[in-house]
Amino acid sequence: MDQNVHRKFTDRQNELRLYIIEFTVDHGRAYHIENDKEAALEYLHMTEEEYKEITDCLLEKDGMVVDEKGKVNFIYPVSALKTNHQVTLDDGRQFSAMCAIDAIGAAFTFHKDTEVNSVSAVSGEPIYIRIKDEKVDEYEPKTLHALTFPLGELSNWAGSC
């Protein structure tokens, strides 16, 4: 099973998905499906009908998680809610990731070197990882191990980190 989130969607769907990701990081808050859509429509030269079709698809295929107020709280790998998994992009922007593995994956979503400051789910100890040129460049503690599982085992993995 292909677990690459980007491949789940068409180019046009990914344009909106990446717009929402960048919005969340740039504004430090959740994107609101209705209140923030006008800027997205203008930026992406998108009709309201196309916007609705794409947001429905993103929701249906677990590309994002929206709360009852219309806020996109999770859009892989970004969490609009504060977590223990902090990512700093090499351009200085910072955000919370949904989980530590997603924090590592942010280097590939943003195509930037990243630093991850997280906390071990087992020991509670701090974790630091630097991704440079799409490779792990540095990490602490040196005994660090990561566990993951096939995303297909969960019906809504985006809300399960």
Q: What is the tens place of the pLDDT at every residue in 38-94?
A: 999 999 999 999 999 999 999 999 899 999 999 999 998 999 999 999 999 999 999
Architecture per CATH, domain 5-76, reads as Orthogonal Bundle (1.10)
Q: What is the assigned CATH class of domain 82-140? A: alpha beta
pTM metric for this prediction? 0.85
Output the pLDDT for position 60.
94
* C-alpha dist (Å) from residue 68 to 23, 32, 65, 73, 133: 20, 11, 10, 10, 39
Domain boundaries, the chain: 5-76, 82-140
CB 65 within 8 A of CB 74: yes
